[in-house]
């Protein structure tokens, strides 16, 4: 059994049609209540351990020559962040109900993406999620006019959301006996635009109340250092960067693959 921070498991309706008549007992490890498996399960993580050092931050900032003043600043902010930070994550165990050439229906929510549709060929169970650095870190520095201090805090927040996402990945692999998993995020490709955040958030049921993340009118997430998407099992790891030709992208995780773009038909 996975031994990370506790997750809240709660059940929501409606039941998935493909699983009706196949109910069996599920134990909620937070409350030890018996749940029936004909209701989807949402895992909520609000107590993810987060400890970093100033070296972690300075290394992530990728500054060649670190001035003593920056080192002192990083040390000060890290001390505050280690005390205040509460990274969080949320995911729902979901099932694909219908497919067309370029759409998927997941628990009554329709997602439009040819790439997502192809990646989930033959897959029935997926894990829509949101992970965040939490709202607590934003208040460490109310005045963001100091650009270097702002950059340092943004880096800390980035490390916090990465911790939340990796914690969730580890939990999913251990709990659901998954080998390799990949993820896609709305807005990562033109094929799956940022507006697809709306059905994703509807699927996850009041994300702001559960982990403090809300959508703006333009479908951006607040706190900004938050990530969302759908995790799915895969034999060959997929990265959206493979299908993006943008040059000099600081967040690139894989090289552009023109052959893959042709295979996906985008």
Report the pLDDT value the prediction gives residue 34, as an integer from 0 to 100. Answer: 35
Instruction: Tell whether 119 is covered by a domain.
Output: yes
Task: Please give the pLDDT value at position 23.
Answer: 33
- Residue pair 191/266 in contact by the 8 Å Cβ criterion: yes
Vertex 99: Cα angle to 94 and 104 (nearest 5): 50
1 confidence band (pLDDT: 50, 70, 90):
very low
**Range of lowest pLDDT (73-77, 187-191, 201-205, 212-216):** 187-191
Structural contact between residues 74 and 57, judged by C-beta atoms closer than 8 angstroms: yes
Tell me the pLDDT of the chain averaged across its residues.
83
The answer for residues whose C-beta is within 8 angstroms of residue 166's C-beta and 6 or more apart is none
DSSP 49-69: -----HHHHHHHHT-SS--HH
Q: Is residue 69 part of a domain?
A: no
- CB of 152 closer than 8 Å to CB of 74: yes
Pick the more confident residue, 249 or 20: 249
User: Could you tell me the two tokens for 172?
Assistant: 């999913």
- Give pLDDT, residue 255: 67
Residue 266, pLDDT > 50, answer: yes
Report the pLDDT averaged over residues 231-246. 67
Q: Judge contact between 9 and 41, C-beta under 8 A.
A: yes
E strands present in 57-160: 88-92, 94-99, 103-106, 109-112, 125-132
Q: Is residue 159 part of a domain?
A: yes
Q: Which two tokens stand for residue 164?
A: 């939340």
Domain count for the chain: 1
What mean pLDDT is predicted for residues 136-142?
Answer: 86
Let me know if residue 216 belongs to a domain.
yes
Q: Between these two residues, 249 and 48, which has the higher pLDDT value?
A: 48
176 to 51, 71, 171, 183, 202: CA distances (angstroms):
27, 42, 8, 16, 23
Q: Identify whether 227 is part of a domain.
A: yes
In a domain, 244, yes or no: no
* 116 inside domain: yes
**pLDDT digits 0-9 by tens, 146-197:** 899 999 999 999 999 999 999 999 999 999 999 899 999 999 889 999 999 9
Q: What is the structure's pLDDT at 238? A: 53
In a domain, 211, yes or no: yes
What pLDDT digit, counting tens, does each position of 5-47 carry? 444 445 333 333 333 333 333 333 332 333 445 677 999 999 9
Please name the residues in contact with 128: beta carbons below 8 A apart, sequence gap of 6 or more.
91, 92, 94, 106, 200, 203, 204, 228, 229, 230, 231
Q: What's the CATH code of the domain at 191? A: 3.40.109
With a pLDDT cut of 90, the percent of the chain lying above it is 65
**CA neighbor of 216 nearest in space, from 187, 250, 241, 244:** 187
Highest-scoring range by mean pLDDT, 6-10, 121-125, 128-132, 141-145 = 128-132
Q: What is the pLDDT of residue 12?
A: 35
Structural domain range at position 35: 8-47+88-140+155-235
């Amino acid at each position: 059994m996975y031994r990370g921070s506790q997750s809240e498991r709660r059940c929501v309706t409606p039941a998935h049609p493909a699983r009706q008549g196949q109910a069996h007992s599920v134990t909620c490890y937070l409350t030890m209540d018996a749940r029936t498996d004909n209701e989807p399960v949402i895992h909520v993580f609000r107590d993810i351990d987060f400890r970093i050092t100033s070296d972690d931050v300075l290394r992530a900032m990728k500054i060649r020559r670190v001035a003593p003043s920056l080192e002192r600043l990083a040390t000060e902010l890290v001390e505050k962040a280690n005390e205040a930070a509460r990274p969080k994550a949320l995911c729902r165990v979901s099932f694909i109900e219908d497919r067309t050439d370029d759409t998927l229906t997941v628990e009554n929510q329709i997602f439009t993406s040819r790439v997502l549709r192809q990646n989930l060929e033959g897959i029935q169970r997926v894990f829509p999620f949101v992970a965040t650095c939490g709202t607590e870190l934003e208040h460490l520095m109310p005045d963001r006019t100091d650009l270097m201090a702002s950059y340092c805090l943004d880096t800390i927040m980035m490390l916090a959301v990465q911790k939340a996402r990796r914690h969730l990945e580890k939990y999913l692999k251990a709990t659901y006996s998954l080998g390799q998993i990949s993820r896609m995020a709305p807005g990562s490709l033109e094929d799956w635009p940022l507006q697809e955040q709306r059905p994703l958030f509807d699927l996850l049921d009041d994300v702001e109340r559960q982990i403090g993340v809300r959508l703006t009118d333009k479908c951006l997430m607040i706190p900004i250092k938050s990530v969302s998407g759908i995790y799915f099992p895969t034999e060959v790891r997929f990265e959206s960067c493979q299908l993006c030709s943008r040059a000099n992208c600081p967040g690139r995780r894989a090289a552009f693959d023109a052959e893959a773009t042709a295979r996906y038909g985008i």
